[in-house]
Amino acid sequence: MTTVAKRSIPGTRQQEAAGTQDGQAPKLQVFTDRHLDKIEPLKRLGEEVLFEMKVVASVLPFRVNNYVIENLIDWDRAPDDPIFALTFPQRDMLDPEMYEQMAELHRREAPKEEITALAWKLRHQLNPHPAGQMEMNLPEVNGETVEGVQHKYRETALFFPSQGQTCHSYCTFCFRWAQFVGDKDLKIASKEAGQLLDYLAERPNLTDLLMTGGDPMVMKTKHLAPYLEGLLDERLEHVQTVRIGTKALSFWPYRFVTDKDADELLGLFERLVESGKHVAVMAHINHYQEMENPIFREAVRRIRATGAEIRTQSPLIKHINDSGEVWARMWREQVRLGMIPYYMFVERDTGAKYRFEVPLAEAHRIYRDAMKKVSGLARTARGPSMSAGPGKVEVQGVAEIFGEKVFVLRFVQGRNPDWVQRPFFAKYDEQATWLNELTPAFGEDKFFFEDEYEAMQADSGLKVIDAAEVEA
Ligand SMILES: *Cc1c(COP(=O)(O)O)cnc(C)c1O
Ligand code: SF4
The model carries a pTM of: 0.89
Residue whose Cα lies nearest atom 5 of ligand 2: it is: 170
Looking at residue 191, its pLDDT comes to: 58
Residue whose Cα lies nearest atom 3 of ligand 2: it is: 214
Task: Report the amino acid identity of residue 96.
Answer: P
Map residue 28 onto helix, strand or coil: coil
Map residue 446 onto helix, strand or coil: coil
Dist. CA 358 → ligand 2 center (Å) = 19
Q: How confident is the model at residue 136 (pLDDT cuts 50, 70, 90)?
A: low
Q: Say which ligand is closest to the CA of 389.
A: 1
Task: Look at residue 313 and tell me whether its pLDDT is greater than 50.
Answer: yes
Tell me if 241 CB under 6 Å of ligand 1.
no
H/E element, 209: strand 208-211
Mean pLDDT of the chain: 88
Q: Tens digits of per-residue pLDDT, 217-252?
A: 999 999 899 899 999 999 999 999 999 999 999 999
Q: How many CB atoms lie within 10 A of CB 443?
A: 7
Q: Tens digits of per-residue pLDDT, 138-196?
A: 677 777 778 888 889 999 999 988 888 889 999 998 877 777 776 555 455 455 788 89
Looking at residue 183, its pLDDT comes to: 57
Residue whose Cα lies nearest atom 13 of ligand 1: it is: 152
Residue whose Cα lies nearest atom 6 of ligand 1: it is: 413
Closest atom of ligand 1 relative to the 343 alpha carbon: 9
Query: Rounded to whole angstroms, how far apart are CA atoms 113 and 383?
Result: 43
Tell me if 387 CB under 6 Å of ligand 1.
yes
Give me the phi and psi of 112, to 5 degrees please: -55, -40
Domains of the chain in start order, with CATH, are 14-124 (no CATH), 130-471 (3.20.20.70)
Task: Give, for ligand 2, the residue of 63, 72, 167 to mutate: max count of ligand atoms closer than 8 Å to Cβ.
Answer: 167
Dist. CA 418 → ligand 2 center (Å) = 31
Q: Measuring from each residue's beta carbon to the nearest atom of ligand 2, which residues come in under 6 Å?
A: 167, 170-171, 174, 176, 213-215, 247, 284
Q: Long-range contacts for 38-41 (Cβ within 8 Å, ≥24 apart)?
A: 39/64, 39/69, 40/9, 40/10, 40/11, 40/12, 41/9, 41/10, 41/11, 41/12, 41/69, 41/73, 41/75, 41/78
Dist. CA 154 → ligand 1 center (Å) = 10
Task: Look at residue 11 and tell me whether its pLDDT is greater than 50.
Answer: no
Q: Say which ligand is closest to the CA of 168.
A: 2
Looking at residue 467, its pLDDT comes to: 30
* DSSP one-letter string for 102-166: HHHHHHTT--HHHHHHHHHHHHHTT-SSGGGHHHH---EETTEE-TTEEEEETTEEEE-BGGGSS
Lowest-confidence pick of 48-62, 174-188, 413-427: 174-188
H/E element, 340: strand 340-346
Residue whose Cα lies nearest atom 7 of ligand 2: it is: 174
Looking at residue 471, its pLDDT comes to: 23
Query: Rounded to whole angstroms, how far apart are CA atoms 208 and 242?
Result: 6
